[in-house]
Amino acid sequence: MKLIYLSDVLNRYRDVNDVNQTVHVMKYIFPRQFGLHNVFTSTVDFKESAHIFKDYTLREQEIAVLQQRRDIKRAEKEKTDMCQQKIPKRLRGMTVELVTKLRKLHQRCSYAAILQYYCPISVSSTRSANDIPLSFKALDKSRLASHALPKEVGNSTGNVATQYVNVEEPKYTELACSVSEVSAFCRAVLLNIVPHGFWGDTETYRQNEAIISKYIDMFIRARKSESLSIHEIIQNFKVRSSIHKRFIKLTLVDYRPVLVAMSTH
């Protein structure tokens, strides 16, 4: 029996040279193109979730059911290789290469080093870094039950006994990071793992990347009642560069019958 751990899809599928795994990751990034449940055209079944949007962290069962249906249809029409997953027309070529590169950058990225650089653990003047229990460093709550240090003391008879002295554990508030540090960490990770090709060519990717970084910072600093729309984020995006013309042409192909019908009236 194969166990699926509740981690993100980039960590569940580690073979960056496997094209099928790359296509599987693309199903999480572009679910609408693969006919999967998405936030744009699908409705949420409140019997499954009480939230406005579904949790898409683990959607292996949905993908397996959809793939099984498509395999049955393909088997009825013609005998094809069922191991090779079909890629939607709009995502072929460059998009597959970019997602493959993203997976490679994710494996090379040292998240711990970036976290330590942008969100260092600050200790008070009366406490050194060595006084912080390993449970806090590793986020292992099971080791917070007891924390004591051995200390050798002498008694009246001259014998040496070992006495355990309880060390005051630091509060979680002492290990908290500021909003600016969290924002800097998230933006640094994004710049390290997302290929420039996702944002455009050499003429536009810097501007688009800066826009995304700006709104990541805004999202992290936002309060509970504040909202952020997709339209607000992408309205300043430059998409008519040479690297994105292929996607625009594909969109025109999809809507060409509609455009022809409108031009005749």
225-231, Cβ contacts within 8 angstroms, sequence gap of 24 or more? none
Three state DSSP letters for 128-179: CHHHCCHHHHHCCHHHHCCCEEEEEEECCCCCEEEEEEECCCCCHHHHCCCH
Residue with tokens 């191991």: 83
Whether 148 shows a pLDDT value over 50: the answer reads: no
Answer yes or no: do 95 and 192 share one domain: no
Q: Is residue 189 part of a domain?
A: yes
Q: Is residue 256 part of a domain?
A: yes
* Residue 221: inside a domain: yes
- Identify which of 42-46, 80-84, 189-193, 256-260 has the greatest average pLDDT: 189-193
Listed in sequence order, the residues at least 6 apart from 159 whose beta carbon sits closer than 8 Å to its beta carbon are none
Q: What is the pLDDT of residues 30-47, one digit of tens each?
A: 999 999 998 888 888 888
Residue 69 sits in the same domain as residue 99 = yes
Residue 139 above 70 pLDDT?
no
pLDDT of 77 reads 64
pLDDT at 258: 39
At residue 183, the 3 state secondary structure works out as helix
Mean pLDDT comparison of 33-42, 84-93, 141-150, highest-scoring range: 33-42
Q: Is residue 76 part of a domain?
A: yes
Do residues 64 and 161 both lie within one domain?
A: no
CA count, 13 A, side-chain hemisphere, 146: 5
| pLDDT at res. 170 | 63
On whether both 196 and 166 belong to a single domain, the answer is: no
CA distances from 139 to 47, 52, 116, 182 (A): 33, 30, 14, 17
What are the angstrom distances between the C-alpha of 5 and each of 9, 10, 97, 217?
Answer: 10, 12, 26, 30
Range of the domain at 150: 129-174
Q: How many domains does the chain have?
A: 3
CA distance 153 to 161: 6
- Percent of the chain exceeding pLDDT 70 equals 66
Pick from 119, 146, 174: which residue ends a domain? 174
Which tokens hold the place of 39? 């936030």
Residues 260 and 182 occupy one common structural domain: yes
DSSP per position, 196-219: GGGT-STTTHHHHHHHHHHHHHHH
Helices (H) and strands (E) in the chain, counts: 10, 2
